[in-house]
């Protein structure tokens, strides 16, 4: 047998339930959008950090390759060791020194000396920083940094994030003997 139940009358309990749902939904949405904004800002900062590291690696490697190919060492060819070189903006093309070559590669990777970005290189012939037992004829360190403005962090009073990357490349020779080894199952491996 079917019975009809009386509809609930809107009383204090019904209004309290409706009001609490509204408050809980508002707080949940606030928390959800806060998490999304944190993910967006930190994800973009991680992307820019990877980009900065690629620019620092390319800059140090290009400067070391230029020094090796052109016979630059500390005290020769106008190379002054243990001095910081701040890259020119725009980068000098074609480069005349190893450090100018490094700056050119940093600018190719999107990092130049402007208001929010800095690119500097230093060269020396002592043991590279953080390395012991190795004294190359020349090493070059590239430092790349950027002040990254946040999109949503301003609501938490975090206006910018500092992005920094560093890379070291060295010019080092291992010996004067040249050796090529070829392996073959049968016949001549190297001619």
In a domain, 13, yes or no: no
**For residues 40-58, average pLDDT:** 90
In a domain, 59, yes or no: yes
Q: At what angle do helices 98-108 and 12-70 cross, to 10 degrees?
A: 150
Query: Where do we find the tokens 């994800």?
Result: 43
| Contact assessment for residue 145 and residue 117, using Cβ atoms and an 8 Å cutoff | yes
DSSP letter assigned to residue 64: H
What b/e readout covers 81-104, taking b as 16+ CB neighbours within 10 angstroms?
A: eeeebebeeebbeebebbbbbbbb
What b/e readout covers 137-166, taking b as 16+ CB neighbours within 10 angstroms?
A: ebbbbbbbbbebebeebeeeeeeebebebb
In a domain, 16, yes or no: no
Residue 11 confidence class, pLDDT cut points 50, 70, 90: low
Q: What pLDDT, on the 0 to 100 scale, is given for residue 74?
A: 75
Give the range of the structural domain holding residue 130, as residue numbers without chain letter. 29-171
In a domain, 122, yes or no: yes
Digit-coded pLDDT (tens) for 93-118: 888 888 888 999 998 888 888 888 88
**For residues 131-149, average pLDDT:** 82
Residue 143 confidence class, pLDDT cut points 50, 70, 90: very high
In a domain, 191, yes or no: no
Q: Which one is predicted more confidently, 1 or 163?
A: 163
Token couple for 102: 């490094």
In a domain, 39, yes or no: yes
In a domain, 184, yes or no: no
pTM: 0.71
Strands 84-86 and 117-124: antiparallel
What is the arrangement of strands in the sheet containing 138-149, beginning at the earlier edge strand? 84-86, 117-124, 138-149, 160-171
Domain tally, the chain:
1
4/19 Cα distance (integer angstroms): 28
Please work out, in degrees rounded to the nearest 5, the angle formed at the alpha carbon of residue 189 by the alpha carbons of 184 and 191.
Answer: 175
Residue 145 confidence class, pLDDT cut points 50, 70, 90: very high
Q: What pLDDT, on the 0 to 100 scale, is given for residue 7?
A: 59
Q: Which one is predicted more confidently, 65 or 22?
A: 65
In a domain, 48, yes or no: yes
């Amino acid at each position: 047998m079917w019975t009809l139940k009386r509809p609930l009358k809107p009383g204090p309990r019904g209004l309290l339930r409706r009001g609490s749902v509204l408050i809980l939904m508002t707080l949940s949405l606030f928390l959800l959008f806060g998490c999304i904004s944190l993910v967006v800002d930190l994800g973009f900062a991680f992307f820019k950090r990877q980009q900065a590291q690629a620019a620092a690696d390319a800059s140090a490697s290009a400067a070391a390759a230029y020094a090796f190919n052109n016979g630059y060492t500390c005290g020769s060819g106008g190379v002054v060791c243990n001095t910081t070189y701040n890259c020119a903006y725009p980068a000098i093309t074609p480069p005349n020194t190893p450090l100018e070559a490094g700056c050119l590669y940093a600018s190719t990777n999107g990092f130049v000396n402007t208001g929010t970005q800095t690119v500097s290189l230093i060269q020396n012939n002592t043991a590279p920083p953080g390395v012991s037992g190795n004294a190359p004829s020349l090493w070059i360190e590239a430092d790349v940094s950027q002040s990254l403005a946040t999109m949503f962090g301003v609501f938490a009073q975090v206006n910018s994030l500092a992005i920094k990357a560093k890379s070291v490349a060295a010019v080092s020779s291992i010996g004067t003997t040249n050796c090529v080894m070829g392996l073959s199952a049968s016949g001549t491996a190297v001619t």
